[in-house]
Amino acid sequence: MSLRAHFAKQSPINRKLFNRIKLLFNARSLLLRIKHPPRNDIFFALLSSFLLFSCSTNTIPATPQVVSVYSTSAAEPWLPPLYECAGTSTIISRVDDPSSADIVLRVGEPKVLTSSAYQIDSEDILIVTHRQSPLQNLTLEGARALFAGQEDSSVQVWVYSSEEDVQEVFDQFVMAGLSVTSSARMAVTPQQMSDTLANESNAVGILPRHWKAGDDREVFSVATVPVLAMTRSEPQGVTKELIACLQK
């Protein structure tokens, strides 16, 4: 098979390279006809440089890596920094199942820690009321009695599902084994809780500080807890780089 036929069957990049080599040899043939043709060593040095340049200009860019991430609702304020850390070299894929995620973001430590966890920030958990609420600053005992339904109060208590990270923090630091009153209403997300506290004058609920909006009043500081990036095993490669970036 001739050299021309061989390159004709190759990829577009190889055919482009063959055409460039052909042009270079045609130029050499033309130079050989003049009185002082170039020396062979100079010609082949030029050829080597030409081939190196041709190959480098056709380098295929690296494929971005995909990292799956699960975030609790309370930890969503740390997603934008994660996307910034990822840049263009990594694709962040949100998933709904924490067991399938490369990185899990949450507020506060879980009841049982079975994976690697790295603190990337801290968050204040607060008891917050509407700005016109008659409720004044609370003590720990007053907050516990209020959410246990032991206080005769006109305010409406709002909580989260017991599985939510914010509620776990609240139960640990405030309720101390007591159950929340059965008359409590449930917010699905901190955003819903924030909207409720802004719009209902008799509402009192639990909010991470990053979700506190407007002039809602803070009446008790529950705790300051770590914001965690958790992985199923010790992080490697791009996952390790993303967590290190979040910690800065």
**Tell me, what's the pLDDT at 236?**
95
pLDDT-based confidence at residue 40 (cuts at 50, 70, 90) = low
Rg of the chain (C-alpha set): 32
What is the pTM for the complete model shown?
A: 0.75
Q: Which residues of 74-101 are buried (b: 16+ CB within 10 A; e: fewer)?
A: bbbbbeeebeebbeeebebeeeeebeeb
pLDDT at 45: 54
* 178: number of Cβ within 10 Å: 14
Angle formed at CA 82 by CA 78 and CA 87, multiple of 5 degrees: 150
What mean pLDDT do residues 78-86 have?
Answer: 97
Q: What is the mean pLDDT of residues 23-31?
A: 53
Domains of the chain: 3-56 (no CATH), 63-248 (3.40.190.290)
Percent of the chain with pLDDT over 70: 75
Supply the DSSP string of 144-162, one letter for each residue. Answer: HHHHTT-S--SSEEEE--T
| 120's tokens | 């990337």
Closest CA to 76 of 196, 172, 171, 208: 208
Report the pLDDT value the prediction gives residue 8, as an integer from 0 to 100.
47
Mean pLDDT of 91-120: 95
Report the pLDDT averaged over residues 72-80.
98
Q: Are 74 and 164 in contact (CB under 8 A)?
A: yes
Structure-token pair, residue 238? 């791009």
158 vs 37 pLDDT, higher one: 158
User: What pLDDT was estimated at residue 154?
Assistant: 85
Interatomic CA distance for residues 105 and 108, integer angstroms: 10
- Distances in Å between the Cα of 80 and the Cα atoms of 3, 71, 134, 188, 201 are 54, 12, 37, 21, 32
As a whole number, mean pLDDT of residues 146-164 equals 92
Tell me, what's the pLDDT at 85?
97
Band of residue 214 on the pLDDT scale cut at 50, 70, 90: confident
Q: Tell me the pairing of strands 116-129 and 217-231.
A: antiparallel
Mean pLDDT (whole number) for 19-23? 57
Q: Check residues 97 and 31 and name the one with the higher pLDDT.
A: 97
Q: What percent of the chain has pLDDT over 90?
A: 67
